Amino acid sequence: MDYNDKFDEIKLHSALPRHIGIIMDGNGRWAKKRGLSRLAGHSEGVNSTYEIVEICGEIGIEVLTIYTFSEENWHRPDWEVTALMKLLVATINKYVDKLDEKNVQIRVIGQLDKLPQAAQKTMISAIERTKRNSGLILNVALSYGGRQEIICAVKSLITKVQLGEISPDEINEWTVSNELQTADQPDPDLIIRTGGEYRISNFLLWQIAYAELYITDVCWPDFRKSHFIDALWEYGNRERRFGKVTEQIQPQVIV
């Protein structure tokens, strides 16, 4: 079955995840293979990012979270961090008008205040510009780490207990989830990782407890709509049981 047939089947059966997270890996390896600089790989990856954001909006995905810059990425060489921040600013400035026209709402998860001032200003402007849009929510994970997010949630709950706003017995999965930066969003149904590595890399650790994982050897700069449809196709043919047995659920199966 080709790309268009798969796309038609997916739309027909509505076997779509509500929230997709993407670990966009392989930019450096893509560039190295071609004798290019790492920055060239990151730059080409921007084209893949826009293409996937575009199709998510077109087919009705509610939330897309892209792992743009992790907390651990600060340990990369200074020149690369500086180049990535400049690329972030250039990318948002280039695409914010198009994203606004497509009704995309831009948000940031992570520690925005750790970014350089130019990057902070650009992201805040994009958030403000698109905050009233009602289409795809695009979470841009910047200086983000799943462990760090959980620590912040724990600290917030401790403060609420100390202030008498809640009791320790009231702390449960819901109250923890409500302290996370994705509190008003459904948990991810599907996590896509490009570049062939088999790890989560501190990405949405709490939220992905029952997410389906899709790992492809395709490096991010080569990952386009056809690869994305392949991921949705596989997702739609998996049986999601959430701890139950097959007989207790209504499977999402594309036939």
Short-list 57, 149, 69, CA closest to 106: 57
Q: What is the DSSP annotation of the chain?
A: --HHHHHHHHHHHT---SEEEEE---HHHHHHHTT--HHHHHHHHHHHHHHHHHHHHHHT-SEEEEEEEEGGGGGS-HHHHHHHHHHHHHHHHHHHHHHHHTTPEEEEEE-GGGS-HHHHHHHHHHHHHHTT--S-EEEEEEEE-HHHHHHHHHHHHHHHHHTTSS-GGG-SHHHHHTTSTTTTSPPPSEEEE-TT-----SSSTTTTTTPEEEE-SS-GGG--HHHHHHHHHHHHTS---TTS-GGGS------
Active-site pick, 73, 100, 202, 230: 73
Examine the residue annotation and report whether 25 is marked as an active-site residue of this protein.
yes
Catalytic one among 25, 133, 187, 189? 25
Residue found under tokens 């049986």: 239
Active site residues: 25, 73
